[in-house]
């Protein structure tokens, strides 16, 4: 890593890098080689305290600034991120192993979109006036206070900004804890926010594992917790936040259905299934990993899919020709390998991939199983890797019932040329982020989030404002006050 790219210490607190080597060492492993490329230290209680007290102090001043002034800081940060897109994308690739071909267009750029969007909204966050005869009520949209963001490892730059940008636009301060697997990128986001004029303490980053997250979540000074992670972690964090009646946003896992009717455009449906299963080596929460294909198109779909998957360019993520990289860690690779073994053992038909690549790093082949049935483990559990399960179906009613028969509800997609059917089916699928004749688009303008076990609240769009602010209503009496005695 070049000097310019690499963060210079483990934490970013009160507007500057901060080190405390008393915290447990966390090695940063480059997934393409398995080599240690950096080392950070978990936050000690002293670092957590410094971050929280800096955030408390900064938040009051930040909230007193006009929305326009706050917005300018965010949009300036977006501009700096775009100018440094290449260096930030390389850092994202070092941190996650995702190919540069992806990180150049999906990470710092998506983070910049969020900073720009919420920077633009900051000046227009208003309350309302409600006339009641002579009296009236007005509402003030107020910040929540100090918010904690906790990130997963698949999109470290994007996640820090999907949480940080709306939080800051509304006048909150944030303490963000990245996943221990990908600790580097959020530090650069903090550095850029400072450079763009964010007052010290408004956005802090502390490293650590679950214990550090847990210290942050339970601190009485914290008003809100936004987590991106798995359902089991979500349950723990939600419960801890509920004990103190804190606000939450939970962006959790999924096992989303992608339904391909036999009138679909075959090439587009295959593209949707590839994007919805193999982008970022399948490490995307909203992936459509249960691909329901109607019997009439099934064999054509599988043949074309197997052919196209063969042409994936798997290799060095820093080579811009590579479009399929390693898994984020050895641990995640082994989890996915166990699912592949289960798929074979339970009788699914392997039509592509299935193996680890014979090279250094944590590479698995893009893998497709056909003849998957609803009760198989690979059709029920979130794998979070490049494993697509193709299931057959006959009728619309049948596929809707089967697609909904899951505890999750993050995303759903439908491919069909019959647009009334597309809207009808999407209307009946219980999921938060849906697609018709597409898959996995996540523009900042659209609400993003799940139903059922997949989460609570929405990120992005105007909807996120509701989750990072609260309304105060003020009744104003114009005449005398009547009282019974
Ligand atoms: P985890 O749930 O393991 O961890 C998420 C974060 O929570 C990490 O930073 C983790 O720290 C932290 N954490 C763990 N335990 C606690 C605790 N008790 N209190 C506070 N924080 C805690 O998820 P992964 O990082 O493995 O990410 C993969 C998961 O994330 C998948 O299930 C995926 O579906 C989901 N995801 C959801 C998205 C969405 O928007 N819906 C987007 C991306 C991923 P550490 O790991 O450092 O110990």
**In which residue ranges of the chain is CATH 3.40.605.10 found?**
11-253+454-472
In CATH terms, the superfamily for domain 11-253+454-472 is Aldehyde Dehydrogenase; Chain A, domain 1 (3.40.605.10)
* Cα 178 to ligand 1 centre (Å): 9
pLDDT, one tens digit per residue, over 48-59 is 999 999 999 999
**In which residue ranges of the chain is CATH 3.40.309.10 found?**
257-436
Closest atom of ligand 1 to CA, residue 151: 9
**231-255 average pLDDT score:** 97
Residue nearest to atom 16 of ligand 1 (CA): 210
**248-271 average pLDDT score:** 98
Which pLDDT band, with edges at 50, 70 and 90, does 6 fall under? confident
pLDDT, one tens digit per residue, over 363-400 is 999 999 999 999 999 999 999 999 999 999 999 999 99
Residues with CB under 6 A from ligand 1: 150-154, 177, 179-180, 209-210, 213-214, 217, 227-230, 233, 236-237, 251-254, 285, 382, 384, 410, 450, 455
Q: How far is CA 156 from CA 3, 95, 183, 184, in A?
A: 20, 8, 8, 8
* Cα 335 to ligand 1 centre (Å): 15
Residue nearest to atom 4 of ligand 1 (CA): 229
Q: Which of 216, 226, 233, 244 to mutate to test the pocket of ligand 1 (most atoms within 8 A of CB)?
A: 233
pLDDT, one tens digit per residue, over 443-455 is 999 999 999 999 9
* Cα 329 to ligand 1 centre (Å): 14
User: Which tokens belong to 426?
Assistant: 């999407």
Q: Which of 446, 409, 444, 441 is nearest to 428 (CA)?
A: 409
Residue 134 is a catalytic residue: no
Element holding 49 (H helix, E strand): helix 45-64
Q: d(Cα 197, Cα 190) in Å, to the nearest integer?
A: 11
Closest atom of ligand 1 to CA, residue 450: 41
Residue nearest to atom 19 of ligand 1 (CA): 214
Set 102, 116, 191, 251: catalytic member: 251
Please report the sign of the dihedral spanned by the C-alpha atoms of residue 275, residue 277, residue 282, residue 288. positive
Residue nearest to atom 22 of ligand 1 (CA): 210
**pLDDT at 288 exceeding the cut of 80:** yes
* Cα 124 to ligand 1 centre (Å): 33
C-alpha angle 443-448-453 in degrees, rounded to nearest 5: 155
Element holding 292 (H helix, E strand): strand 290-294
pLDDT, one tens digit per residue, over 328-368 is 999 999 999 999 999 999 999 999 999 999 999 999 999 99
Burial of residue 321, with CB atoms counted within 10 A of its CB: 0-12 exposed, 13-18 middle, 19 or more buried: exposed
**pLDDT at 99 exceeding the cut of 50:** yes
Mode of pairing for the β-strands spanning 35-41 and 387-393: unpaired
Q: How many residues does the chain have?
A: 485
CATH T-level fold of 257-436: Aldehyde Dehydrogenase; Chain A, domain 2 (3.40.309)
**pLDDT at 1 exceeding the cut of 60:** no
Closest atom of ligand 1 to CA, residue 234: 2
* Cα 152 to ligand 1 centre (Å): 4
Residue nearest to atom 8 of ligand 1 (CA): 179
Q: Assign 410 to helix, strand or coil.
A: coil
Residue nearest to atom 30 of ligand 1 (CA): 229
**243-257 average pLDDT score:** 97
* Cα 240 to ligand 1 centre (Å): 15
Q: Which of 408, 456, 463 is nearest to 430 (CA)?
A: 408
Which pLDDT band, with edges at 50, 70 and 90, does 3 fall under? very low
């Amino acid at each position: 890593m070049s000097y310019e790219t690499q963060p210079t210490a483990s934490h970013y607190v009160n507007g500057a890098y901060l080190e405390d080597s008393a915290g447990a060492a966390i090695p940063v492993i480059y997934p393409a080689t398995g080599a240690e490329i950096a080392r950070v230290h978990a936050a000690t209680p002293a670092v957590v305290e410094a971050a929280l007290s800096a955030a408390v102090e900064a938040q009051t001043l930040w909230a007193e600034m006009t929305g326009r002034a706050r917005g300018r800081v965010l949009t300036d940060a977006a501009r700096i991120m775009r100018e440094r897109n290449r260096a930030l994308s390389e850092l994202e690739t070092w941190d996650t192993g995702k190919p540069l071909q992806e990180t150049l267009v999906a990470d710092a750029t998506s983070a910049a979109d969020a900073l720009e969007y919420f920077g633009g909204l900051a000046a227009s966050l208003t309350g309302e006036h409600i006339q009641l005869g002579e009296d009236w009520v007005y509402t003030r949209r107020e910040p929540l206070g100090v918010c904690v963001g906790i990130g997963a490892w698949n999109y470290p730059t994007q996640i820090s900004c999907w949480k940080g940008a709306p939080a800051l636009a509304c006048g909150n301060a944030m303490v963000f804890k990245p996943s221990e697997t990908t600790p580097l990128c959020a530090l650069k986001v903090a550095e850029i926010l400072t450079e763009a004029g964010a007052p010290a303490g408004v956005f802090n980053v502390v490293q650590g594992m679950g214990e550090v997250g847990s210290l942050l979540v339970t601190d009485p000074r914290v008003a809100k917790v936004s987590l991106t992670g798995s359902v089991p972690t979500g349950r723990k964090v939600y419960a801890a936040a509920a004990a103190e009646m804190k606000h939450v946003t939970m962006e959790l896992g999924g096992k989303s259905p992608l339904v391909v009717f036999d009138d679909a455009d075959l090439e587009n449906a295959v593209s949707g299934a590839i994007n919805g299963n193999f982008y970022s080596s399948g490490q995307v929460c909203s992936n459509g990993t249960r691909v329901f294909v109607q019997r009439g198109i099934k064999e054509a779909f599988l043949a074309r899919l197997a052919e196209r998957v063969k042409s994936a360019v798997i290799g060095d993520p820093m080579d811009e020709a590579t479009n399929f990289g390693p898994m984020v860690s050895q641990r995640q690779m082994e989890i996915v390998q166990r699912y592949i073994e289960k798929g074979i053992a339970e009788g699914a038909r392997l039509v592509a991939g299935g193996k680890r690549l014979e090279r250094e790093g944590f590479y698995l082949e893009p893998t497709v199983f056909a003849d998957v049935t609803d009760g198989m483990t690979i059709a029920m559990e979130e794998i979070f890797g490049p494993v697509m399960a193709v299931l057959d179906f006959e009728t619309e009613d049948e596929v809707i019932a089967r697609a909904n028969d899951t505890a999750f509800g993050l995303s759903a997609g439908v491919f069909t040329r019959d647009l009334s059917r597309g809207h009808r089916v999407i209307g009946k699928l219980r999921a938060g982020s849906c697609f018709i004749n597409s898959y996995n688009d996540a523009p900042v303008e659209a609400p993003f989030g799940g139903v059922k076990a997949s989460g609570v609240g929405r990120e992005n769009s105007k909807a996120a404002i509701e989750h990072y602010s609260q309304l105060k209503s003020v009744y104003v009496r114009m005449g005398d006050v009547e009282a019974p005695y």
